[in-house]
Amino acid sequence: MLEESFAVRFYETDALKHVSNTVLVGWFEAARFPIFKLFTPDLDLDNWPLILANYSVDFLQQIYMGSDVTVKTGVSRIGNSSFVVYQELWQDAKLKATGSTTMVHFDYKTQRSAPISAQIRDKLSAMLVETQSE
């Protein structure tokens, strides 16, 4: 799995002294950048070929300021025009949250999904992981 670490910043905590639930979605998105680059190496927003169709986050344990977090990213399913990114968030060697995001390869001109090329499919296949739900 790909790994990206983030420092927990003070403003990401809430009145209960743990990381706010909205922060994880941002960390997960930032950790998907290597996958975005497969489709758009220069991250050109004028030629962006992906849309987010669905995401879910399962909060397993509270996350606190004081220790960095690590997001591990893989791909759990590849379809014709969509794929599912599976992610885990770890802190202090403990699994704190999991998430999955369905991404669709999308043609904005036709407003329709588009098949994922064989070249990108091969690169996504190299990131395949099994999840607990499989």
pLDDT value of residue 17: 86
CA 4 to chain centre: 11
pLDDT value of residue 131: 85
The CA–CA distances, whole Å, from 108 to 30, 33, 70, 111 equal 23, 20, 33, 5
What beta strand segments (E) does 79-122 contain? 82-91, 94-107, 112-113
Element (H, E) at 74: strand 69-78
Residue 113, strand partner residues: 106
Return d(Cα 87, Cα 90) in angstroms, integer: 10
pLDDT value of residue 1: 92
Query: What DSSP character marks residue 41?
Result: T
Residue 59 has which token pair? 């909060």
Residues 40 and 120 sit within 8 Å (Cβ to Cβ): no
Return d(Cα 25, Cα 125) in angstroms, integer: 24
pLDDT value of residue 16: 86
pLDDT one-digit tens code per residue, 30-51: 999 999 999 999 999 888 999 9
**Which of helix, strand or coil describes residue 2?**
strand
pLDDT value of residue 25: 96
Question: Can you list the residues of the chain whose pLDDT is less than 70?
Answer: 133-134
